[in-house]
Chain A
């Protein structure tokens, strides 16, 4: 059974700093991994999707990497801004077509 873990559970950093969020998964038989952000009481916004054959994806200040063999992904946020404050979730789509989420990292950017 696929399990997805996100570390840390919460993170506070001063504005302007770069930061890394971590996601690990137990079963490497995946189609892809996707990072989302969720604002309080809202739905999820897709940030980046990495296919199992890819090693990284970039969008603006965001860079996500994937090491399928070790079951790890990281989300790198450069030059953090207060608007980046949210909960960040990673989700793994396994070969049985189930999509399993981690518990998320609550990020707070200090102005």
Chain B
């Protein structure tokens, strides 16, 4: 089955530093990838839609200068949390599908802790 790999699975960083999270579709090409954020015991909040070769589409309230998304190829999207603060600590999950009518597959998520 389709596999989406997300790395790292967890990261601890200091306030003010930047963290990059990678999302790869291992056995299919994904023109679109989605980035979600999840707070404890809450559902997934869509942050942005990452489109290969073009700018990401951010949801209302998500700072695009803080959460930089780069979809460099059909199999790789990256999310960079810039100048991280403790309130950015969260569980970040990416997802991808082959097409709009294909199942959405998720990475295993990245637990970010900012100290």
Report how many residues on chain A are interfacial, defined by Cβ distance under 8 Å. 23
- Chain B interface residue count, CB cutoff 8 Å, equals 23
From B38, which residue of chain A is reached at the shortest CB distance? A38
CB-nearest residue of chain A to B45: A101
| Interface residue? A44 (CB, 8 A) | yes
A–B pairs, 13, beta carbons within 8 Å? A31-B101, A32-B100, A32-B101, A36-B106, A41-B111, A43-B107, A44-B95, A51-B101, A89-B43, A93-B100, A93-B104, A98-B46, A104-B43
Chain B: which residue is nearest A6 at the CB level? Answer: B43
Chain A contacts for B34, CB-based, 8 A: 99
Task: Find out whether the CB atom of B104 lies under 8 angstroms from the CB atom of A43.
Answer: no
Query: B44 at the A/B interface (Cβ < 8 Å)?
Result: yes
Quick check: B106 and A49 within 8 Å, CB to CB? Answer: no
* Interface assignment of B105: CB less than 8 Å from any CB of chain A: yes
